[in-house]
Structures are given as structure tokens and as C-alpha cells.
Amino acid sequence: MLLGKNKPLDPNKDEQYTPKWLFDRMGIVFDLDVAAPIGGAPHVPAHRYYTQEDDGLAQTWQGLVFMNPPYSRAKPWVEKFIIHNNGIALLPWSKSQWSWNLWELADGIAVVPKDVKFQVPSGKVKSIFMQVGLFALGDQALEVLNNSKIGKVR
């Protein structure tokens, strides 16, 4: 499994599917899921999606996007997300420059409960070792985050 610049993905970090309850709380259908698993995620409410086969980084993003990118290569995804400026991203807390940039530019940020569980390709559900948050860019995304009651929005 490769992603951009032929760097292998880390399946322990990169194939972690967003829990359905997060989408249920957000209560919206996104225009595009930019980093979906192959075949799409059946519980992700999006009209369209890009998978690894599509190379979501190389595609044009339109409308309100949802992004849960490969965490081992988050930087290029976050950079494109910031440029697009219209969506919600699920990302780990990090001391990297991309994280600080997003922290400064996000219209809203909500911490996801620490005990959140992610589904992996085998179908099992597991916790991940890092804290994650939802980052909103744009007025519509901020409104969705505020109405979701997932956590306090800053």
C-alpha cells in the first residue's frame, strides 16, 4: 500500500475508520470524503469519496469535505485541507508544524472523547494510542461542530 512519493502507509495508523457515532452526532451529509477506504465507508455520510486508488491529494476537492487522512502522512493532507478551507477533519494531536498551523487557522476545534474506538480493516474495533480532535474550517463546518455536542468547541 503506497501513498504519494511511494512512501508506504503504516496500516497500524492509517487504516482506522471513523466511528459511526461521530457522523450521527454531526448530522450532516458531506459533499466529499477525501480519504475513504477502498470501496468507501458505508456509514460515512458523503455524496462522493476518494480512496487511495483515486489519490485524494491529486484530486480537486469540492464542497464541504470530511477528512480522516493517513496519520503517518498527515502533513500534505492538512495543507490541502487548509487551502480548501471548507470541511471537518479528524486528526491526532501532534507537536508537528502542520498541527500548529491547523490549530491557528481552524474556525473550531472539538476534542473527541479519549475512549473513542476505531474500526480496522479486519472488522475489529480498537482504541488508538493518541488523542484526536475534530477541526472545522469554514462557517458551515463550524456550525456542524457546534451543533454536534461532541465536545466543547474552541
What is the predicted pLDDT for the residue at 41?
A: 76
User: In degrees to the nearest 10, what's the CA dihedral of 144, 31, 127, 135?
Assistant: -50
CB 1 within 8 A of CB 10: no
What is the predicted pLDDT for the residue at 49?
A: 95
Q: For residue 103, with 0-12 CB atoms within 10 Å meaning exposed, 13-18 middle and 19 or more buried, which class applies?
A: middle
Q: What is the pTM of this model?
A: 0.86
- Run means of pLDDT, 10 residues per run, the chain, 154 residues: 47 69 96 90 90 94 96 94 98 92 96 75 68 95 95 88
User: In degrees to the nearest 10, what's the CA dihedral of 119, 121, 127, 129?
Assistant: -140
What is the predicted pLDDT for the residue at 60?
A: 97
What is the predicted pLDDT for the residue at 129?
A: 65
Sign of CA dihedral 98, 104, 108, 114: positive
What is the predicted pLDDT for the residue at 118?
A: 66
Written as nine digits, the cell of 21 is: 457515532
What is the predicted pLDDT for the residue at 135?
A: 97
Size (the chain), residues: 154
Give the position of cell 490541502: 80
What is the predicted pLDDT for the residue at 36?
A: 92
What is the predicted pLDDT for the residue at 128?
A: 63
What is the predicted pLDDT for the residue at 3?
A: 44
Please report, for the chain, how many H helices and E strands are present, in that order: 5, 10
What is the predicted pLDDT for the residue at 67?
A: 97
d(CA 7, CA 23): 30
Neighbours of 151 (CB within 10 A): 15
CB 138 within 8 A of CB 64: yes
